[in-house]
């Protein structure tokens, strides 16, 4: 799931946004790293 979100920027159609795993994957994808500064 995490790799799908990394590649596509969103959840796959079968995933429910209410799942905590989905919330975690989206939150991790939104975080910025220090290397971007």
Q: Show the tokens assigned to 19.
A: 């799942």
Tens of pLDDT along the chain (37 residues)?
A: 888 888 888 899 998 888 899 999 888 888 755 555 5
Q: pTM for the complete prediction?
A: 0.64
**Cα gap 32→15, rounded to integer Å:** 24
**Cα gap 15→34, rounded to integer Å:** 30
**Cα gap 27→23, rounded to integer Å:** 6
What confidence score (pLDDT) does residue 17 get?
82
């Amino acid at each position: 799931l995490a790799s799908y979100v990394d590649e596509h920027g969103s959840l796959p159609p079968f995933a429910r946004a209410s799942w905590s795993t989905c919330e975690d994957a989206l939150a991790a994808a939104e975080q910025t790293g220090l290397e971007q500064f």
